[in-house]
């Protein structure tokens, strides 16, 4: 029985499924995660869901400061004991989804406001955390996140297999799968494998666009009826006549018969720019 299993079997910290508590104790994968984050003593790291602190320990060995946000009070107590008095760790008992990341990190950051995120995420918050990080006022320069294998693949998809999630993540960051993590590397083992996903955030949009909000509006419309041709999906999604949707698509150089999953970021941007130039319909 592993040391971790021993700790978890003691009543007060029995893993809670509802909080996505699948702990990673395998040092091979923990090392791959911290390697992917290219950490140095200059780095401030935000860790989401430190749990029992296995990843936290590796992060503290390489980064300058770790701010760890944990929702489960039992885990917070355990972490306080495990890292008692370490001045390079700030433990925060909070729900990451209700946390203002900028406000939380500002006291620990130099003027450049540069930080990284490293997390073995509870699966149920994956999309909400991605959104929080990528749309934050102060974005991380890098995020290394353990997510479900299928989700990582969807995020890294190329035109032909794109989804709204892929468009959104790739608009803000360059994603790469570092490694697959078998379900058996976690305690307790989840039902599916995971992936270590590395997101390098972009300093500027990948293609110029007049209005980013319009890009997401038209992409949401396009993906609202995945199986339909863009002419019909965009028409229904934006509430405009099919003829107008077709004209818009043609003006952007996109064949109206194509489906949303085939479009590149550049094509979504072209569509948003046509929409902006023509006066976008009211949402």
| Footprint of ligand SAM (CB under 6 A) | 19-24, 48-52, 54-55, 69-72, 75, 95-97, 120, 122, 125
Rg of the chain, C-alpha, whole Å: 21
DSSP class of 64: S
- Kindly state the smallest distance separating residue 261's Cβ from ligand SAM, in Å: 30
* Residue closer to ligand SAM (CB basis): 13 or 274: 13
- Kindly state the smallest distance separating residue 146's Cβ from ligand SAM, in Å: 7
* Residue closer to ligand SAM (CB basis): 29 or 223: 29
Strands (E), 14-121: 23-24, 44-48, 65-70, 89-93, 116-120
- How far apart CA 219 and CA 233 sit, in angstroms, is 10
Contact criterion met (CB below 8 Å) for 228 and 259 = yes
* Residue closer to ligand SAM (CB basis): 125 or 178: 125
Residue nearest to ligand SAM (CB): 49
- How far apart CA 266 and CA 268 sit, in angstroms, is 6
- Kindly state the smallest distance separating residue 175's Cβ from ligand SAM, in Å: 20
* Residue closer to ligand SAM (CB basis): 115 or 223: 115
* Residue closer to ligand SAM (CB basis): 22 or 273: 22
Enumerate residues 6+ apart whose C-beta is below 8 A from 18.
Answer: none
- Kindly state the smallest distance separating residue 150's Cβ from ligand SAM, in Å: 16
Enumerate residues 6+ apart whose C-beta is below 8 A from 99.
Answer: 69, 92
- Kindly state the smallest distance separating residue 22's Cβ from ligand SAM, in Å: 5
């Amino acid at each position: 029985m592993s040391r971790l299993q021993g700790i978890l079997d003691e009543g007060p910290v029995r893993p809670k499924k509802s909080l996505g508590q699948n702990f990673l104790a395998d040092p091979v994968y923990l090392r791959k995660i911290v390697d992917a984050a290219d950490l140095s003593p200059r780095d401030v790291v935000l860790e989401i869901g430190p749990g029992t602190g296995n990843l936290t320990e590796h992060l503290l060995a390489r980064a300058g400061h770790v701010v760890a946000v944990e929702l489960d009070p039992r885990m917070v107590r355990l972490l306080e004991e495990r890292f008692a008095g370490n001045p390079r760790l700030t433990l925060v008992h909070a729900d990451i989804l209700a946390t203002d990341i900028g406000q939380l990190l500002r006291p620990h950051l130099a003027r450049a406001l540069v930080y990284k995120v490293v997390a073995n995420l509870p699966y149920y918050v994956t999309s909400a955390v991605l959104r929080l990080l990528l749309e934050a006022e102060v974005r991380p320069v890098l995020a290394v996140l353990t997510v479900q294998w299928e989700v990582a693949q969807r995020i890294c998809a190329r035109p032909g297999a794109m989804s709204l999630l892929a468009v959104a993540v790739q608009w803000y960051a360059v994603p790469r799968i570092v490694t697959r993590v078998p379900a058996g590397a976690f305690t307790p083992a989840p039902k599916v494998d995971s992936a270590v996903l590395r997101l390098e955030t972009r300093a500027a949009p990948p293609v110029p666009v007049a209005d980013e909000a319009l890009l997401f509006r038209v992409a949401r419309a396009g993906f609202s009826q995945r199986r339909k041709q863009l002419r019909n999906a965009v028409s229904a999604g934006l509430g405009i006549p099919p003829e107008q949707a077709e004209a818009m698509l043609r003006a952007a150089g996109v064949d109206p018969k194509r489906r949303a999953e085939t479009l590149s970021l550049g094509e979504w941007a072209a569509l948003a720019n046509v929409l902006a130039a023509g006066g976008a319909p009211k949402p």
